[in-house]
């Protein structure tokens, strides 16, 4: 027989004997009453013992399934497991029933002592909690956020049990935002029926299968990293952590085939440098582990955040059209105004210094409105020559050149 299988069988037999000892410890004998059965703490300890024993037995059973042994060995192990599971279930029911009996006796004793208590001897202490001022959680109608909202809201409301249903309904209605804002209809609000409102939300959004699908879709649609940067890596880590933790709370931990598939998905979303560093960190003959992978990514993200606190993305300047370039040149280089005296009329009026200007104009318009005005002024002055040069750079445009006969001379503006 396989040596590992022998060790597993010895450990499983020890767990069976442990379960038998607990069964003897909580057995009831009419002739010899067991005083331990009246102790709540003793029974709670025995309950935890059988739960841990059952968990260990499950682990050993999984190890047997993973061994390369014959089908007869697996069948024999399955028969033993069913027998152990049945004994565990019977023992669990016995202990929980004993605990319930103790709780009922304690409640009955308190009810019997209440009328005999003197009001003067035991004055009632009124519990006045402060008004509810804490910020309540909000729910936007997303199925994957329902369980988190439910847990936080119920925890807060349980502390304020003395609040009336109308007040609780008021807080519940204010907590619903987005798609969930109109779920509670007006009739429920008019009746102050908090229980019905909560039942309506539970029936609508507590769809476990749909919530699990949402979290799995989020893991399969992980964001792709655009190069080695801390922002994208942090987004990938947060998405994985959020959804895997939610699935773990729904009794779907990351293990087995699902773990390998998730690690494969994560590795394909990494940039080249991070993927290379992660591959170098792995054991060549072993399978990668999800927890160690996430720890590696968190450490790398911490390093990237330290060495690159601010990552600036290069942005290309917007491309201007030819018309915008023409208008910019026409406005920026037509003339320069000055306040000196005019050399022709000796008057103190505005003077302009015309310089050489070269622009491109659409043949369909010939010249823009601005240049029509400027060329008209230039042509009217005797000392300025306006030429039209037809050697355009493209067939669709004509190059116009405005020249001065005398360069850098102050000219009288007509």
**What are the residue boundaries of the structural domains of the chain, listed by start?**
3-116, 143-206, 220-307, 322-412
Structure tokens at 370: 């601005």
Residue 150: name the closest of 217, 216, 199 by CA: 199
Helix (H, G, I), strand (E, B) or coil at 399: strand
Cα–Cα distance list, 30 to 27, 33, 92 (Å): 10, 6, 21
Q: How many CB atoms lie within 10 A of CB 92?
A: 14
Instruction: Reply yes or no on whether the pLDDT at 345 is more than 80.
Output: no
Instruction: Reply yes or no on whether the pLDDT at 126 is more than 80.
Output: no
pLDDT at residue 240, as a whole number:
92
The strand pair at 351-354 and 397-404 is best described as: unpaired
153, 136 in Cβ contact below 8 A?
yes
377, 402 in Cβ contact below 8 A?
no
Q: How many CB atoms lie within 10 A of CB 150?
A: 17
pLDDT at residue 130, as a whole number:
53
16 compared with 324, residue with greater pLDDT: 16
233, 297 in Cβ contact below 8 A?
yes
Band (346; pLDDT cuts 50, 70, 90):
low
Q: What is the pTM of this model?
A: 0.40
Q: Which residues contact 47 (CB under 8 A, 6 or more apart)?
A: 92, 95, 96, 99
Q: What are phi and psi of 165, to 5 degrees?
A: -60, -30
Band (238; pLDDT cuts 50, 70, 90):
very high
Q: Is 410 exposed, middle or buried (0-12, 13-18, 19+ CB in 10 A)?
A: middle
Helix (H, G, I), strand (E, B) or coil at 206: coil
Fold of the CATH domain 3-116: Methane Monooxygenase Hydroxylase; Chain G, domain 1 (1.20.58)
Q: Tokens 């119920």 — which residue?
A: 154
The Cα–Cα gap between 293 and 289 comes to: 6
Instruction: Reply yes or no on whether the pLDDT at 277 is more than 60.
Output: yes
The whole-number average pLDDT for the span 367-373 is 50
Q: pLDDT tens across 255-266, in order?
A: 888 888 988 999
């Amino acid at each position: 027989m396989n040596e590992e299988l022998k060790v597993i069988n010895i450990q499983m037999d020890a767990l069976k004997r442990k379960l038998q000892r607990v069964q003897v410890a909580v057995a009831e004998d009419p002739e010899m009453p067991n005083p331990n059965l009246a102790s709540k703490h003793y029974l709670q300890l025995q309950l935890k013992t059988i739960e841990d024993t059952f968990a260990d037995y499950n682990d050993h059973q999984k190890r047997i399934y993973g061994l390369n042994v014959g089908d007869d060995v697996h069948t024999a192990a399955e028969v033993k497991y069913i027998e152990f599971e049945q004994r565990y279930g019977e023992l669990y029911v016995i202990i929980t029933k004993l605990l319930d009996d103790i709780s009922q006796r304690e409640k009955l004793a308190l009810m019997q002592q209440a009328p005999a208590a003197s009001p003067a001897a035991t004055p009632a202490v009124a519990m006045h909690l402060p008004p509810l001022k804490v910020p309540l959680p909000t729910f936007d109608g997303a199925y994957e956020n329902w369980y988190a909202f439910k847990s936080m809201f119920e925890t807060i409301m349980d502390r304020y049990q003395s609040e009336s249903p109308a007040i609780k309904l008021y807080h519940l209605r204010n907590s619903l935002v987005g798609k969930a804002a109109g779920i509670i209809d007006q009739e429920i609000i008019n009746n102050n029926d908090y229980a019905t409102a909560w039942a309506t939300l539970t029936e609508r959004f507590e769809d476990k299968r749909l919530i699990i699908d949402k979290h799995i879709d989020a893991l399969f649609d992980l964001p792709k990293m655009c190069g080695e940067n801390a922002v994208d890596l942090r987004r990938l880590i947060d998405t994985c952590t959020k959804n895997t933790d939610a699935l773990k709370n729904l009794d779907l931990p990351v293990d087995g085939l699902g773990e390998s598939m998730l690690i494969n998905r994560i590795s394909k979303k990494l940039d080249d440098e991070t993927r290379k560093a992660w591959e170098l960190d792995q054991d060549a003959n072993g399978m990668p582990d999800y927890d160690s992978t996430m720890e590696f990514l968190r450490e790398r993200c911490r390093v990237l955040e330290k060495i690159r606190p601010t990552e600036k993305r290069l942005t290309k300047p917007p491309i201007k059209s030819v018309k915008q370039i023409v208008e910019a040149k026409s406005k920026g280089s037509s003339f320069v105004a000055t306040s000196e005296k005019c050399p022709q009329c000796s008057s103190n009026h505005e003077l302009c210094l015309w310089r050489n200007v070269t622009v491109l104009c659409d043949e369909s318009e010939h010249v823009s409105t601005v240049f029509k005005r400027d060329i008209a002024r230039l042509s009217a002055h005797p000392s300025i020559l306006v030429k039209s040069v037809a050697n355009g750079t493209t067939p669709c445009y004509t190059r116009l050149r405005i020249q001065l006969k005398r360069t850098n001379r102050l000219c009288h503006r007509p």
